[in-house]
């Protein structure tokens, strides 16, 4: 399975993050051997800091990752209801607002660091900045492309659990794929860094983050980090 397939999924798959994040895995296998959740994210511990959002910290009393996800989902769904012409300035503004909301609830650097695991320490600070930026653009553009003008989904946030600076939110997504109803069990993984930020989503026991890690590691080990970046940039050019 090629890397680029991780960024190219149908609508039902793009909605797996409940209108918050572009899911790089489908409502089925994302790779030839999809990685199931292990209960522990390898490579980086949950307590390791992200320089972009700051280190994890104890959330204030009453803080609720479920409430924040629900609020963001409502904001994005409201945007979906707007259908300006694709060529109009209003459409560009809509897409920009979608990316702004997504960026406010996704810890792209945490996702980047964990997806590279040990390889993160092997690259230069300049390479890290570039990798985070390209990964961010791929996820955001894939999401916008897949869900743009497609508001038909129902996301139910079922329950949350907190453990210090870590949070988990269980949810259920009801959507349509090829005219058939799709129901997906979801689990959001978050860290509190001034606000709750998503760094992984598990769908039907398949981890977005771990699928990324397995594929990135395969390419870097077999070829190089530069080869991985070349593939990602090529995919990004095709989405412009």
pLDDT in tens, the chain (240 residues): 444 445 544 333 444 443 333 333 233 333 344 555 554 443 333 333 344 567 899 999 999 999 999 998 888 888 877 888 888 899 889 888 888 888 888 899 999 999 999 999 999 999 999 999 999 988 887 776 665 545 567 888 999 999 999 999 999 888 777 788 888 888 999 999 999 999 998 887 888 899 899 999 999 999 999 999 999 999 888 766
pLDDT at 18: 38
Say if CB 145 and CB 99 are below 8 A apart: no
CA–CA distance, 101 with 124 (Å, rounded to integer): 29
* β-bridge partners, 197: 191
List phi, psi (to 5°) of 118.
-65, -25
Q: Is 169 helix (H, G, I), strand (E, B) or coil?
A: strand
* β-bridge partners, 187: 170, 202
pLDDT at 44: 38
Instruction: Write out the two tokens for 223.
Output: 């070829």
Say if CB 147 and CB 14 are below 8 A apart: yes
pLDDT at 177: 74
User: Which of 157, 165, 175, 159 shows the shortest CA–CA distance to 72?
Assistant: 157
pLDDT at 158: 95
Domains of the chain are: 3-26+56-233 (3.10.450.710)
Q: Is 221 exposed, middle or buried (0-12, 13-18, 19+ CB in 10 A)?
A: exposed
CA–CA distance, 14 with 182 (Å, rounded to integer): 13
pLDDT at 196: 95
């Amino acid at each position: 399975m090629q890397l680029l397939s991780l960024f190219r999924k149908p609508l039902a798959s793009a909605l797996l993050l409940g209108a918050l994040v572009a899911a790089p895995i489908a409502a089925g296998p994302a790779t030839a051997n999809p990685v199931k959740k292990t209960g522990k994210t390898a490579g980086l511990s949950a307590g390791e800091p992200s320089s972009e959002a700051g280190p994890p910290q104890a959330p204030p009393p009453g803080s609720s990752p479920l409430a924040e996800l629900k609020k963001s989902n409502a904001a994005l769904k409201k945007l979906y209801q707007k259908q300006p012409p694709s060529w109009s300035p209003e459409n560009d503004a809509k897409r920009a607002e979608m990316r702004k909301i997504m960026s406010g609830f996704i810890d792209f650097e945490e996702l980047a660091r964990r997806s590279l695991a040990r390889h993160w320490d092997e690259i230069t600070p300049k390479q890290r900045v570039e990798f985070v930026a390209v990964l961010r653009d791929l996820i955001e553009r894939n999401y916008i492309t897949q869900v743009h003008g497609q508001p038909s989904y129902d996301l139910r946030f079922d329950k949350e659990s907190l453990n210090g600076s870590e949070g988990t939110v269980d949810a259920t997504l009801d959507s349509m794929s090829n005219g058939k109803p799709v129901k997906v069990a979801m689990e959001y993984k978050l860290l509190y860094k001034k606000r709750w930020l998503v760094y992984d989503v598990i769908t039907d026991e398949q981890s977005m983050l771990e699928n990324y890690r397995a594929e990135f590691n395969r390419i870097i080990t077999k070829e190089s980090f530069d080869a991985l970046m070349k593939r990602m940039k090529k995919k990004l050019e095709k989405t412009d």
